Amino acid sequence: MLLITEGRPDGDELLALYRAVGWTAYADAPETLVAAVCGSHLVLTARSADGSLVGLVRTVSDGATVVYVQDLLVLPDRHRMGIGGALLDAVLERYPDVRQTVLTTDAEPGQRAFYESRGFVEVHDVRPAPLRSFVRLR
């Protein structure tokens, strides 16, 4: 059984999840991670029957015109069980009228098919007029 609910997990749960997926840029700065999650527009968690955190998605948004799916994480031993899809579907259900839903992700195998199955298109493939996407990382 999987339970998806709105709410922010505690700092220890967050750190354990981000470390488990290898997101050290977040996990190496725990105070910043907690502040980022607390400042998110929406945080949804996926929990197993025993209440343990197995996944999380968070957004940054104005709630009306654009939503950025900032993080989508699932414990590695829970991949390919529908958890990531359930979390992303729950986000899309909460923003039905938002014009732009945007996310940036690593180019890992299988991710394109996953996001395309939810209606996403890589920015360079948008037609009729291609779009540009820019990012500045520090």
Average pLDDT over residues 27-47: 95
pLDDT classification of 54: cutoffs 50, 70, 90: very high
What is the predicted pLDDT for the residue at 113?
Answer: 87
CB 62 within 8 A of CB 94: no
Average predicted confidence (pLDDT) for the chain: 91
What is the predicted pLDDT for the residue at 14?
Answer: 94
What's the pLDDT tens digit per position in 89-122? 999 999 999 999 999 888 887 888 889 899 888 8
Q: In order of start, what are the domains of the chain with their CATH numbers? A: 2-104 (3.40.630.30)
Q: What is the pTM of this model?
A: 0.91
What is the predicted pLDDT for the residue at 123?
Answer: 84
How many beta carbons lie within 10 A of that of residue 62, not counting itself? 10
Q: Of 127, 57, 126, 60, which is closest to residue 90 (Cα–Cα)?
A: 57
